Structure 1
Amino acid sequence: MARIATVHRVPMRHPGDVSGVAALLDAGALDPADIVAILGKTEGNGCVNDFTRAYAVQALSVMLAGRLALTPEAVAARIAMVMSGGTEGGLSPHFLVFSVRTTDAAATGALAMGTAFTRDFAPEEIGRMPQLEATAAAVRAAMADAALTSPADVHYVQIKCPLLTSERIAAAEARGATVATHDTYASMGLSRGASALVVALALGEVPAGALSDAVIGQDTTLFSHRASASAGVELTRNEIVVLGNSASWAGDLTIAHAVMQDGIDLPAIHAALRGAGLDPGAGQLAPDHCARLVALLAKAEPSSSGRIRGNRHIMNDDSDINATRHARALVCGVAAAAVGRTDLFISGGAEHQGPDGGGPVAAIARKEA
């Protein structure tokens, strides 16, 4: 028997609205026991105090607990729930529900996925080598879970990671420990950066000898072409979802990726779409190809140089609106124009996730009949 992965894209009316997922379960279109991961775009600010992420996780956990005969805490421990806050611009809040089941269908090669979790991290480990080293084993475990034996078969690795709060910093210092930073917002970037470098290491994109506390969040020449990391206050461990294509899986889904060199790299988005069997032509997907697009996932980051192809941008200088919020809106506009949809998983903060100012992009699509 082979395994088959399915992905359901479900709109949400607010961060606690799980009625769309519940409707799929009630209709029998989705078995709760098959759910292995849920990605979500919630309409918060995407910063340290964005509690829309925790709200969504809580709502999903409570709803699924009744259907799985588990406690909400057990649900959250079992299913990777990656909530990415921030739906600036035209981004539409939604969930992506990933499920896996066995099938009698032949294994013809299709989307494969695996999940894994690290231990909980102490505050002093976040954004440093202990977080990176512990996550490396989890990434390898997720790849094995997905039967992805070659790094070349991996197209996207989504990691949800923790951040530092004032309370966590105080707890560490009360024990005589020091933390990577006292800036809670900066801790998000360090945590994302450490998590992304894990992927780069696991996929052979950077050598182990190049990694240290000193390079995390600093050396922009070290990055992964396939990592996507999102930090949040709602957890203290790393949760990993590996997506790729495996010959041992069945189904009609496939995934491909490319790397945006900057926030307006439309050709890179087109390359990811074409890799997944979709044809954007020179502009936007035709309606029939748009219908086959299951998900588009991308990272967004303002360049540290303050320039995009030589022209000045003010994303890093705006004291009213965080730079990552500007970047999400920018990449959303480019990606939405390419695919003709706005329910896209565009995540901000791309430290070590693609080149400075750019980021990975992946497309999951149904194969042409």
Structure 2
Amino acid sequence: MRTTSVGVVRIPTKGPGDVAGLLGMIEQGEIDPKAILAILGKTEGNGGVNDFTREYAVAALCTALAPHVGLEPHRVEQRIAFVMSGGTEGVLSPHITVFTRKSIAQAPAGLADKRLSIGMAQTRDFLPEELGRSAQIEETAKAVVSAMADAGITEPKDVHFVQIKCPLLTSDRVEAASARGNTTVTTSAYSSMAYSRGASALGVAVALGEIEEGIRDQDVLRRFELFSKVASTSAGIELIHNVVIVLGNSASSASPFEIGHAVMHDAIDAAAVIEALASVGLKAGSTANTGRELVNIFAKAEASPNGNVRGFRHTMLEDTDISATRHARAAVGGLIGGLAGSGAVYVSGGAEHQGPPGGGPVAAIVRVADDSD
């Protein structure tokens, strides 16, 4: 098994098309563009079907990176995985997190712990009528297994976060399915985002053995007791397949970073965020020099489907002015930002089958200082 070194850096952005910070780090030699494997970002759009800040951000990044990786801009996505999550409500701050990976001859002496590793895989393109159904679940599960192998992770327990970018339905895609005599899971573009996210999350659960029974089409968005504790899925108009990024710890990694996670049971579950920080040796809000530096936190946010949080009614699901996912991102983003000491955290809305109903996974990445730091 090859030994790899994974790097992670968080870069603030001034807008969806802002690539100055990334290019500056490349020019200064702090990031090797040819080692970039994935970029996860938060953009200041609405997170809905018509949120084109996601596509704009990806286009800007591809154009900026193309000359550095020797590819035409439209081919950069074949080499680098881009996952842009729209919506920076409340104190959430737009930013990108860049992941790099290099093969090295051997691990440094004395490195005993498993360290951060990353793997990537893609599904085949889906037909519109396959979204939100068993085909998407099954293909996603296969891709998760491939991404784990790419990351050098052999045990499901070492997987701490699986980020997936998945497609949604548009009127053109619905019409194309109808023209072939097929029906889609829904004709609503907005509802299709939830179906696609949910099916993708169930694919993660199947791959990691979190669900032992077979999943049927009718289980998606109905049987919410079926979920993954590490899946984070985000739907967008810019693709028609699933991009799968597995983050975990591996003995084959010599990275100076580690990742851990916990599961939030509702939108105000501060204890879970504290647990996630503790899993990587950090205390919430602490500025003490522990030899560990928080890089970023990744989490899902969801409005409780039963209309209340710990017995108290909320109106997120009944507000016609602001969608429930935007409410949830703002609430969870504020909670995590307060405990992490920064609003530049990755909080994605819509947690169908991603953690228990009303909750979601929360993962933390830290940089571990060595003796030379």
TM-score by length of 2: 0.95
* Correspondence 1:119 to 2:120: no
Residue equivalent to 2:309: 308
- Aligned counterparts of 2:264 and 2:369: Cα–Cα separation in 1: 26
Between stretches 20-29 and 40-49, larger displacement belongs to 20-29
- Aligned counterparts of 2:291 and 2:138: Cα–Cα separation in 1: 39
Residue equivalent to 2:161: 156
User: Which amino acid in 2 is paired with 1:37?
Assistant: A
Aligned pair count reads: 365
Between stretches 351-360 and 25-34, larger displacement belongs to 25-34
Distance 1:239 1:290, change over 3 A: farther
Residue equivalent to 1:261: 265
Residue equivalent to 2:10: 9
Residue equivalent to 2:48: 47
* Correspondence 1:218 to 2:201: no
Given that 1:112 and 1:146 are in contact with CA atoms closer than 8 Å, whether structure 2 keeps it comes out as yes
Residue equivalent to 1:77: 78
The SS at the match of 1:243 is: strand
User: Which amino acid in 2 is paired with 1:123?
Assistant: P
- Aligned counterparts of 1:251 and 1:113: Cα–Cα separation in 2: 10
Deviation at 1:351, TM superposition (A): 0.2
For structure 2, the residue ranges without an aligned partner over 5 or more in a row are none
Given that 1:353 and 1:359 are in contact with CA atoms closer than 8 Å, whether structure 2 keeps it comes out as yes
- Aligned counterparts of 2:275 and 2:304: Cα–Cα separation in 1: 22
Given that 1:92 and 1:343 are in contact with CA atoms closer than 8 Å, whether structure 2 keeps it comes out as yes
Instruction: After TM superposition, list the pairs within 5 Å mapping 1:219-298 onto structure 2.
Output: 219-280=223-284, 284-286=285-287, 288=289, 292-298=293-299
Residue equivalent to 2:346: 345
Deviation at 1:167, TM superposition (A): 1.4
Given that 1:273 and 1:279 are in contact with CA atoms closer than 8 Å, whether structure 2 keeps it comes out as yes
Deviation at 1:103, TM superposition (A): 2.7
Deviation at 1:285, TM superposition (A): 2.8
The SS at the match of 1:192 is: helix
Cα deviation, 1:19-69, whole Å, max 9, x if unaligned, reads 111111111111111011000000000011000000001111111111111
Distance 1:172 1:289, change over 3 A: farther
- Aligned counterparts of 1:29 and 1:350: Cα–Cα separation in 2: 34
The SS at the match of 1:83 is: strand
- Aligned counterparts of 2:91 and 2:293: Cα–Cα separation in 1: 21
Residue equivalent to 1:168: 173
Given that 1:290 and 1:339 are in contact with CA atoms closer than 8 Å, whether structure 2 keeps it comes out as no
Given that 2:282 and 2:292 are in contact with CA atoms closer than 8 Å, whether structure 1 keeps it comes out as no
Deviation at 1:132, TM superposition (A): 1.1
User: Which amino acid in 2 is paired with 1:23?
Assistant: G
Residue equivalent to 2:89: 88
Residue equivalent to 1:98: 99
- Aligned counterparts of 1:285 and 1:292: Cα–Cα separation in 2: 11
- Aligned counterparts of 1:285 and 1:74: Cα–Cα separation in 2: 43
- Aligned counterparts of 1:133 and 1:198: Cα–Cα separation in 2: 6
- Aligned counterparts of 1:58 and 1:65: Cα–Cα separation in 2: 10
Question: Residue 194 of structure 2 is aligned with which of 164, 180, 189?
Answer: 189
- Aligned counterparts of 1:333 and 1:184: Cα–Cα separation in 2: 29
- Aligned counterparts of 1:135 and 1:289: Cα–Cα separation in 2: 38
**Identity of aligned pairs, percent?**
54
Distance 1:289 1:47, change over 3 A: farther
- Aligned counterparts of 1:290 and 1:200: Cα–Cα separation in 2: 34
TM-score by length of 1: 0.96
Between stretches 257-266 and 165-174, larger displacement belongs to 165-174
Given that 1:277 and 1:367 are in contact with CA atoms closer than 8 Å, whether structure 2 keeps it comes out as no
The SS at the match of 2:219 is: coil
- Aligned counterparts of 2:117 and 2:90: Cα–Cα separation in 1: 31
Given that 2:281 and 2:292 are in contact with CA atoms closer than 8 Å, whether structure 1 keeps it comes out as no
Distance 1:53 1:285, change over 3 A: same
* Correspondence 1:177 to 2:178: no
For structure 1, the residue ranges without an aligned partner over 5 or more in a row are none
Distance 1:143 1:306, change over 3 A: same
Residue equivalent to 1:131: 136
Deviation at 1:72, TM superposition (A): 1.4
Runs of 4+ in 1 over 6 A off after TM superposition: none
- Aligned counterparts of 2:140 and 2:10: Cα–Cα separation in 1: 28
Cα deviation, 1:242-279, whole Å, max 9, x if unaligned, reads 01111111022100000000000001000000101112
Deviation at 1:217, TM superposition (A): 1.1
The SS at the match of 1:152 is: helix
The SS at the match of 2:283 is: coil
Deviation at 1:102, TM superposition (A): 2.0
